[in-house]
Structure 1
């Protein structure tokens, strides 16, 4: 017997005939003729040096050797078919990668919890997240999708993701301990531990600016300890350590789950918010992803169903 493997066409003809019980049915499945299937099986039998079918009485049945051979090769041929189908669907190119740049607070608190849903919605893409902390971070220019926080800027057009709404938040335990509910007054703020962030960025309100916007005649002093980023600051609020300023989009999951509660007053700045832009030369590819992100902002918070 030859040591070279038989042809793939011969193996496929045999497997289809054995599975379907008919050379005619195998020919229909493979898009060829019954004589062609018969010839390929004959070539396979000659190659192996033994009959794979019994051909007596006008009926075609597997021989004992044929049954065993079919059991052994059928799984492998199935895997080969599936591999070919996957390759034809996806091609030889790697899945397209999409880079999304946004502030670290937005990235950690809003986008990261929704990343599994984004991947399910776009299974043929890979995503690279680029957290930024500066308005002039080069990542915002380089990313396929950039989500910028700040005022509307005519030279940097983008679609509004969400308007800015800022209000105090704290844990239910901290509110209960200090008798907090509804709208806070300047007197309330003087007896509370106000959590501060140490990054001075004119785009973001700190407690002093928030008080001026809210019409409260108070200039809160900063604590001896300030938090380096917004996620750490919120973690301190979740741990019942004080009251933080909450940006509605960033704290909505915690409010939905009841881990934080919202207090007043609520401050909104005209034309401030989150803005989404898509790199022009890849717009056809990534625009649907931008649409999905915008739609997700208006869906129920991920924590609402937790």
Structure 2
């Protein structure tokens, strides 16, 4: 019996013979050592190249452009506030970056070669656009905001101009507007305003005074008040005797009051002791809108209230020669002011109220 201690060792890769105990043929086994496969690293993703990566120095491009435009490095150095050697170095660096000379150097002379001519033709337009973009950006940042003062009568400013102020600011976003409600023409602020809108006849000796809307005055009331008092056909002597007149208590001959309006309309002057007085025009209109009586209205002020149905216009209409809203412009040739006055004139153009009118 073989000595167990002398049993042959089983080595990897060796073939084994018969079984030492039973004498039966041993199973033939081949042992292989498996070596783990190496991990193959995936290639690093390529970074997207920036379009700016291949650009040379902007200083070099500018030095080349100015040198070609002025014809010498010395002149270019003077314009760029630097030295001639600096210009030369920048152009040399540009040529090295491009891999080709831009000039033929003949002694002390520089002659633009064909490559330089082609490159400059393509470069000049691009630099011009860059300069324009920078100039425009700086202009927007450093440009002062124009402050425009518009002075107008308190009633007109409140009823007509103030509702349009937001649209005016939207159409002229670079301007800052100040609205001054002033009823006295002799007020210094009215005279010093950039744009003054006043009512009445023309001012003596004021050549800047332009009529923008002729006067047209007529009675107004709410549709409900007109129905309840049978005023659909207008005012006559009988109607004047039974309605409530809303009276604007202003000692200003520029404006029509009920007595003056009735004389111009050929109607008897009613007893004004029954007229309810108000001390400003917006309050008078508000009372008419709220069915409290009949007020005098002017087409240039109440257009919006007529358009939205808050008020209706009664006949007759009265117009006085040379009376109306007039616009004075302090600096009529200003490039800032002119578009604004055109804007206001267009707004005024829609204020004429159709209907029969009487000239006094």
**Structure 1 residues not aligned, in runs of 5+:** 1-17, 40-83, 302-306
Q: Is the 8 A contact 1:207 1:220 kept in 2?
A: no
TM-score by length of 1: 0.70
User: Which protein shows a greater Rg?
Assistant: 2
Matched, 1:104 2:154: yes
Residue aligned with 1:205, SS: coil
What residue in structure 1 maps to residue 184 of structure 2?
Answer: 134
Task: Report 1 or 2 for greater relative contact order, CA contacts < 8 Å, sequence distance ≥ 6.
Answer: 1
Q: Is the 8 A contact 1:196 1:223 kept in 2?
A: no
CA shift at 1:299, angstroms?
4.0
Distance 1:31 1:120, change over 3 A: farther
Distance 1:222 1:136, change over 3 A: farther
TM-score by length of 2: 0.60
Residue aligned with 1:236, SS: helix
Aligned equivalents of 2:322 and 2:303: distance in 1?
A: 21
Match of 2:55 among 3, 7, 27: 27
Matches within 5 A, 1:59-74: none
Q: Is the 8 A contact 2:303 2:351 kept in 1?
A: no
Q: Is the 8 A contact 1:183 1:263 kept in 2?
A: yes
Moved over 4 A (4+): 23-26, 30-33, 84-87
Match of 1:208 among 234, 238, 259: 259
Aligned equivalents of 1:135 and 1:160: distance in 2?
A: 15
What residue in structure 1 maps to residue 41 of structure 2?
Answer: none
Distance 1:31 1:217, change over 3 A: farther
Residue aligned with 1:241, SS: coil
Q: Is the 8 A contact 2:213 2:324 kept in 1?
A: yes
Matched, 1:92 2:120: no
Matched, 1:180 2:231: yes
Q: Is the 8 A contact 2:151 2:181 kept in 1?
A: yes
Distance 1:32 1:115, change over 3 A: farther
Distance 1:299 1:207, change over 3 A: closer
Distance 1:95 1:21, change over 3 A: same
**Structure 2 residues not aligned, in runs of 5+:** 1-46, 62-92, 98-133, 353-360
**Deviation per residue, 1:137-192 (Å, 9 max, x gap):** 22210100011110123412311110000000000111111111122101101100
Q: Is the 8 A contact 2:247 2:278 kept in 1?
A: yes
Aligned equivalents of 1:159 and 1:121: distance in 2?
A: 23
Aligned length: 235
Aligned equivalents of 2:54 and 2:196: distance in 1?
A: 54
What residue in structure 1 maps to residue 33 of structure 2?
Answer: none
Residue aligned with 2:55, SS: helix
Matched, 1:269 2:320: yes
Which of the pair is proportionally richer in helix? 1
Q: CA RMSD in A?
A: 2.8
**Deviation per residue, 1:62-101 (Å, 9 max, x gap):** xxxxxxxxxxxxxxxxxxxxxx999624243541100000
CA shift at 1:109, angstroms?
1.0
